[in-house]
Amino acid sequence: MKTIGRLGRLVAALCITGGPSLAAQAPSAPLITRTIPLRYLRPGDAARLVSPYVRSAQGGVYEAGLVQAVTIIETAPVLARIDSLLRENDRAPAVVVFRFQLIAADDTPGRDVAIDSLDAALRSMFRFKGYHLLGEGSTTKPE
């Protein structure tokens, strides 16, 4: 009679015991396809933002650029997390407004009502008799 080596016994033991049956495995959650519209984020930026959250083998993130949206295939809990992440980040960009005033300082006494709120501060810093607004301008810069 032939002797079975250690490897043979291991293979035999695995065949007899086997792994858990299909009935004992937990059913996987169903995948849901959802297209999420975007207002300010570009679809490519949104896809890069949420792609680390997509873990399912059949799941995915797809840009729907013409309709300003992303389509996501994932389980319901992951979709809820992605949806809240997109809502938090899909907002109007902040805009900084710069306002400029060109003010002349001279020895002509008088007060210009257009710069009345600055008059006291100017008089405390500089020793001129009058200040007059020559012009104004403004520009905006998105952040």
Global confidence as pTM: 0.52
Burial of 131 by CB count in 10 Å (0-12 exposed, 13-18 middle, 19+ buried)? buried
Indicate the number of domains in the chain. Answer: 2
What domain range is 72 assigned to?
28-89
Q: What gap in Å lies between CA 6 and CA 70, rounded to an integer?
A: 55
Whether the Cβ atoms of residue 106 and residue 129 lie closer than 8 Å to each other: yes
Please tell me whether residues 83 and 100 are part of one structural domain. no
User: Residue 60 maps to which CATH number?
Assistant: 3.30.1370.120
Please tell me whether residues 52 and 105 are part of one structural domain. no
What string of pLDDT tens digits covers the 143 residues of the chain? Answer: 455 555 555 444 444 555 554 444 455 789 999 999 999 999 999 999 999 999 888 889 999 878 899 999 999 999 999 999 999 999 988 888 999 989 888 888 888 888 888 888 888 888 888 888 899 999 998 76
Please tell me whether residues 70 and 122 are part of one structural domain. no
Q: Do the domain assignments include residue 136?
A: yes
- Taking each helix axis from N to C terminus, what angle separates 43-50 and 76-89, rounded to the nearest 10 degrees? 130
Whether the Cβ atoms of residue 131 and residue 103 lie closer than 8 Å to each other: yes
CA distances from 18 to 6, 10, 93 (A): 18, 11, 58
Please tell me whether residues 82 and 120 are part of one structural domain. no
